[in-house]
Structures are given as structure tokens and as C-alpha cells.
Structure 1
Amino acid sequence: MHRVRDFILSFIDFFYPPFRRLIGIQTFRYAFCGGSNALLNLLVFSASYNFLFTDKVIYVLGFAISRYIAAYLLALSISFPIGFCLNKYVVFQSSNLLGRVQFIRYASLTVTNIFLDYFLLHLLVGYFKFWATPSQAFIIVLLSLFSYFCQTYFSFKTVKKEA
């Protein structure tokens, strides 16, 4: 795991020097990891929406869901574990919270984001009739900003230990 983390860190840090005066290294790593994971999420969403889920209604375990929600669920099932690992092992290495606490907090934030994403996706696509992929891209940007603050100050915060 250390080799993978070190490789990812050296790759990300290679692109950091032009941004050094603008943002700190941790913020840059978060943006890089989050942006990469969001791009992966969007690519999986778009590919599954446009090529995999071609029927208007998809049946999953006996439940009827729209194709854009099916695409969202598939994208989430891939981006969730990758996002947690990147945040835990690459971005917020200094967090001294227990791994299970980090995971529960990360999962709680993800569940909150799922509800917000679901609501916003239905609002934009189902109600306003916007295109699904650009709508999802907009939602990803909005929720990424929200998530950054929550993860920095809640999910992966560093607790000061009393002397």
C-alpha cells in the first residue's frame, strides 16, 4: 500500500509547483484526487447512461428506477471506495482519527451527498428537463466544494492530543 501511495503522491506533487503560491499542498492533493475521482465518476455515469442503460426504466432487485439513477448508482459504487482510499491514504495522512471513525464519517457525508445528488439530479433532469450528463457534472462540482470542507473539518480532521 505504501508503494501505491508514494507513487500517487509523487505523481500529484509533480504538478504542484505552479500552484504553490495559490494553495497549500493538502488542498492541491484534495483537488487533484477529488477531481480525478469526480472525472472517473462522470465517465462511468456517462458511459453507463448512454451505452449500458438504454431503457427508460431499469429494474434492480425488483425496483424500477430511471436510467440516470441507475447510472448514478453504478458510478457511485466505483467512486466511493476509491475516494475513501485516496482521502485516507493520500490527502489526509495526518489525520489521527481511527480508520473506522474516518470511514463512518466519510460514509455519512457520502449518504448526505447521495440524497443531495438524487434530489438535485431529479430536479435538474426530471423537472427542468436538462441533459443528464451536464447536470451531473454541475452537481459534482457543487457537492465537491461542500465535501472538501466537511472532510477537512469532520471526516479526516486531526485531533489535538492533550499533553
Structure 2
Amino acid sequence: MKTEKATFAGGCFWCMVKPFDSLPGIESVVSGYTGGDLENPTYEQVCTNLTGHKEAVEIVFQPEIYPYEKLLDVFWSQIDPTDGGGQFFDRGSSYAPAIFYHTEEQRIAAEKSKEELEASGKFDKPIVTPILEAKPFYLAEMYHQDYYKKNPAHYERYSVGSGRAAFIQRNWGEQ
């Protein structure tokens, strides 16, 4: 079956894997870095906010089973799309949200979904999440992969403590 890639930055990548991981048609969700120019950056380098990279997830999916448009819906429901300075208590460009498109069709779908979210009136502030052409994606260190499975108690404390869980509940309802 045909697969495609989708790449989303939504703040801490630990919190962006779980929402996509168990959806039908998803073959893999990995944490990594994209959007910058430094080859093979490390977590420590990206955290300086000097490399241009964002923490992101790369998803390999089967569009016939789970279309890109539905992935966009999941993405929007995991972030504060009005905050371009980071996400929740994670601040800086490495935590800023973005959609990275791999094809012209993805770009068009992402632009349409952003326009629909803006028109919905769900948020009082403008939707500032950029839609950018995909750049090389570098896999994060292994201890970052599937963090929510390896460290479930810490993951839950982080999700709540960062303000993400409350924001999602308040703005998007039960997930």
C-alpha cells in the first residue's frame, strides 16, 4: 500500500508522538529535528535555538486509510496555533509549531486547514503556525523515541505540568 510522510512541529516532540501513534494507517511516528541548516544536529545543539531546527515528528502513513487532512486535524488539536514563540512552557524557536509539507497537495491541504481554523473563530488571536517546505529530517537520539511508552509516568507529569493537557482539554475537548 502507498505511503507518504507528514512532518509536524508542535513543541516538545515527546507530546507529539502519542496522538498519532495508534491511528489506523500509521506505519511509524519518530521524533527528530527539522527546519534548520546544520546537518545531524544533537538535542543539545537544537536547544540553543541557534540551529534553526524545530523539534518535530515525522509520520509515515497510508493516505488511503488515514488521509493527510485528518492528520492535520489531529495536529491542530495538539497545539496552541496562536503561539509562535514556543508551546506551553517550552519557549524558543526550537519549540515553535510548524507544518512541513512534502508535496504541493500537502501544502494546499495545510493552507486550507489553517484558513478553516482561522475562520472558525475558535481562537481570539491569529493563527500564526507557519506552513513550510519540508527540509531534511534528522532522527532524535534514541532516548527521545517513543518517550510516552518508555517513561509513561514522567510523560504524563510533563504533559500536565507544561500546560499542554489543560489547554487541549479547554480548547479541543476530550481527546
Shorter chain as denominator, the TM-score bin is: under 0.3
Please give the TM-score of this superposition, normalised by the length of structure 1.
Answer: 0.27
Relative to its length, the structure with more strand (as a share) is 2
Of structures 1 and 2, the one scoring higher in RCO (CA 8 A, sep 6+) is: 2
- Rg larger in structure: 1
Relative to its length, the structure with more helix (as a share) is 1
